[in-house]
Amino acid sequence: MFKVVSFPDFGCGGIICASLNHDNVPILSNGEIPSKYHNALKIGPSIVGFDKNKWNEAKLESIDYEKFWLGTHAHPSYIIDDPQVEIILYVNVASMESRCLLAARQCKAVSYDKIECMKACLLSRYKDNTIWTQTIHSNPKIISLDFYHLINTPSYRNMRFGTNEIVYDENKWDEWYRYNDFRNDVDLMLSQYPNLNIHA
């Protein structure tokens, strides 16, 4: 049975999985975490749909990691009925704060002009493609997590994980913060958000 962390592209799956797995993998100078667990069930970008054959292949290749939390860009709606999936932590970007934070993370990764990158990211991903902007609370296999608060708010992590008896490493987050200052760009992006005609 697999424990899955489902997150969109640039959704900080590395730190989420490293924290949940108490993984000592080092954080790179660019802020990324090369965790084998966070890549284990990735079968392609989050905006290109779902390939069931690739999903089954990824599960087969990851069978030895079943006791760990494994990352994927597959949206919960694609994998919720898989009998091998025990639980899904679903990182959603329903709020405008979450969308702007995700845009900030992408801008850090590609090193483009912040405002133009932010506009391109938000318009291309969340104006027409809204699958990751939906919250899911009605399925007992899914724990829905707000991206903005998950990344920024220790008390939120403690509450959401603690309520579901999920043990994680908060110290890993403290270390990760030292390499990831993109969170400081969210206010700038929020100031531009109303001009994009995207509704949270």
pLDDT (0 to 100) of residue 198? 57
pTM: 0.89
How do strand 142-146 and strand 69-72 relate by DSSP bridges?
A: unpaired
pLDDT tens digits, residue range 63-72?
A: 999 999 999 9
Higher pLDDT, 195 or 79: 79
Query: Going by C-beta distance under 8 Å and a sequence separation of 6 or more, which residues neighbour residue 135?
Result: 92, 94, 144
pLDDT the model gives residue 200: 44
